A and B are shown apart, each in its own frame.
Chain A
Amino acid sequence: MGIDQNILPATKDEAGIITTRLDDLVRWGRKNSLWPLPFGTACCAIEFMGVVSSKFDISRFGAELVRFSPRQSDMILIAGTINYKLAPVLKRIYDQIAEPKYVISMGACACSGGFYDNYATVQGIDQIIPVDVFIPGCPPRPEAVLDAIIKLQERIDKEPVTSRGRPRRHEVVEKMKDPL
């Protein structure tokens, strides 16, 4: 698994039938039990509360158990504006989440700073942490959040189970020693 390899896995023929079925099982487990960590700061957090409520019901997708502890959750859902004061906190919490972890950036402010293009707001959380799914909207409708979770599930379906297509740490360190 090199750094330039894309995240789509090798074909099913190469891998062998038992490991592929096991991979499918793990992927099925991961995508259907995405326990979110709602890092809600602003208005989008209220819309997230609406998604969790019975009318839009995120628990149909397995994401019912909202865990505020980074160790116990799979997915961090950043709902709201992140400003420079909160950026180190977000990075720290993201680092504390155990792999596999997924990031959904909800709302215009988290995706790109929203319409707060000024001295206080980080212009998009992808400047700090890697993001899997962006949800535009101000605030996005709860249906959009559900759509994002479905897209995340589709994405989980396609990625390799170990290391999730991202380079392992020792590979990055090797590459950094010799950039060419």
Chain B
Amino acid sequence: MSDKHSSKLEDSTLHGAARAPYSSADFDNDVDPKRDDFDEGLDLPDINTTPMYVNIGPSHPATHGTFRIYARLEGELIEKAGVDVGYLHRGFEKIVEHKQYGQVIPYTDRLNYCSGLSNNVGFCKAVERMLGIEITPRTMMIRLIIMEIQRIMDHMICVGTTIVDVGALTNFWYFYNARDKLNELLEALTGARLTYTYTRIGGLAWDLPPGWKENVKAAIKEVPAAIADVRGLVEKNRIFQDRTRGVGVISAEDAISFGWTGPCLRSTGADLDLRKVRPYYGYEQFDFDIPVGANGDAFDRLMVRIAEMEESLRIIHQAIDRVPDGPINIDDKRIMLPPKEKVHTSMEALINHFKLIIEGVQPPPGRIYDATETPNGELGFYIISDGGSHPYRIKVRPPCFYTMNALKFLIEGGMVADIVAILGGLNVVAGELDR
């Protein structure tokens, strides 16, 4: 793939900072306790150790989301590990077979609940493609802006909680305050704080409130300050580097074989981003780069996310002034509800409203797979329709299911404390993992 839209983290000038002084080459000179010949030449008594079986989770402060790691420990080293997920399995795929397409949207909110709007947009995009409709330019731009805001918010939670678990406790608050400011924007727009359910099939629930765009411009001024604070505290910090450099290393081929997408894959060096490869909703008109890591370790995963936050800010800066005017919903009476004034006065509109509420949208029979670049990776929906008002089957392709698949591979051979750094960087959201 061409490199012209991706920027390697190490020599990028985007952040304005010089290249980090530590690289994994420095580790070759240090004596790493995980090396087998660490004890050579030393006169240590033989400690008789027995392997210990330990359960990490499902209720654990440092695992974000409920899952369980069953590990066999030899001292602090993990010899073998087994990962148990499904502690938040809520039967999404079964229950949506009994709901109309419009009623599925709140369920999609709870998939990756740190960025609910991305899932909403992803699902509506798939159904709209199935229906063969083209949404209005205004809706496209608004959906793009809110997806980028959600990307910033999701990365803030991921990076914030990971850094807290690694030990730097104040960074979470820097990020969380900035995230709250963005959340106020979305609360003014959608009415909810976490599970927004703002998109509808064919458009949006309602239009932007007055003054929203100015509020966005004011709120995103806080984000660079928060990023700079956090960066200043961790990027060149020796302790943080020791905890995350060289930890959980995965090569690009292995990552692709495991089905990784999103920032985790980009941290290994492969630059796959659906916003550049198959631009949708007008991403091609904006100028932004894809940060790509070099080593595929935990440090890169976090730094890629921080760099992506800055790229999202660039997109929002460009996009917020270019929101076109016009209607937000398409004018198709098989899909969109008629305006309430007409429902109360005209018989056709009343019947139309009634039919849409009782039966909902009815896509033509067939199968479709559609994917969006959510903050975690490629979220795909494989929808099978039989022509009725309920979807016959919706299979969600969750990005963190596949990153979690590789967890056993990543933590075996490492130490218990490394689990935390690795898990945090993978951004495992249990709602999406287990559905």
Contacts and interface: CB of A to CB of B under 8 A. Distances in A.
Interface in A25-80: 39, 41-43, 46-47, 49-50, 53-55, 68, 80
Given A53-B173, A85-B86, A115-B106, A138 B91 contact: no
B58 A89 contact: yes
Given A42-B110, A43-B110, A55-B180, A139 B89 contact: no
Contacts of B173: 53-54
Contacts of A83: 86-90
Contact of B177 (A47, A54, A138): A54
Contact of A116 (B86, B95, B114, B176): B95
B431 interface: yes
Nearest to B110: A43
Contacts of B193: 47, 50, 139, 141
B113 interface: yes
A55 B88 CA distance: 28
Nearest to A68: B61
B91 A41 contact: no
A54 B181 CA distance: 13
A43 B194 contact: yes
A11 interface: no
A118 interface: yes
B87 A46 contact: no
Interface of B: 58-61, 65-66, 86-91, 94-95, 106-107, 110, 113-114, 157, 173, 176-177, 180, 193-195, 430-431
A120 B180 contact: no
Contact of B430 (A42, A55, A116, A119): A42
Contacts of A86: 58, 66, 87-88
- The prevalent SS among residues of B at the interface is loop
Given A47-B193, A116-B90, A118-B91, 8 more contacts: A41-B66, A42-B113, A46-B113, A53-B176, A54-B177, A68-B59, A83-B87, A89-B59
Given A81-B90, A89-B87, A139-B193, A46 B157 contact: yes
A99 interface: no
Nearest to A119: B91
A87 to B, nearest CB: 10
Nearest to A109: B90
3 closest pairs, A vs B, by CB? A43-B113, A120-B91, A118-B91
A139 B431 CA distance: 14
21 contacts: A41-B65, A41-B66, A41-B88, A43-B113, A43-B195, A43-B431, A46-B194, A47-B193, A53-B176, A54-B173, A68-B60, A81-B88, A83-B88, A83-B90, A86-B87, A86-B88, A115-B107, A120-B94, A139-B194, A139-B195, A141-B193
Contacts of B87: 41, 83, 85-86, 89
Given A118-B95, A141-B193, A49 B176 contact: yes
Nearest to A120: B91
Assign chain A's interface to a size class: 20 to 34
B96 to A, nearest CB: 10
B431 A93 contact: no
B135 to A, nearest CB: 27
Interface of A: 39, 41-43, 46-47, 49-50, 53-55, 68, 80-81, 83, 85-86, 89, 93, 109, 115-121, 138-139, 141
B219 to A, nearest CB: 14
A116 B61 contact: no
Contacts of A81: 88, 90
Given A39-B59, A86-B58, A47 B90 contact: no
Contacts of B106: 115
Contacts of B113: 42-43, 46
A92 B286 CA distance: 53
B388 to A, nearest CB: 20
B180 A53 contact: yes
Contacts of A121: 90-91
A118 B94 contact: yes
A39 B106 CA distance: 23
Contacts of A141: 193
Nearest to A53: B176
Given A42-B431, A43-B194, A43-B195, A50 B180 contact: yes
B289 to A, nearest CB: 29
A141 to B, nearest CB: 7
Contacts of B95: 116-118
A128 B290 CA distance: 48
A80 B195 CA distance: 13
Contacts of B180: 50, 53, 55
A139 B195 CA distance: 7
A42 B157 CA distance: 14
A115 B107 CA distance: 9
Contacts of A109: 90
Contacts of B195: 43, 138-139
Nearest to B94: A118
A47 B106 CA distance: 17
A44 B88 CA distance: 13
Nearest to B60: A68
A49 B195 CA distance: 15
Nearest to A92: B59
Given A42-B110, A43-B195, A46-B114, A80 B176 contact: no
A67 to B, nearest CB: 9
A112 B43 CA distance: 62
A43 B90 CA distance: 13
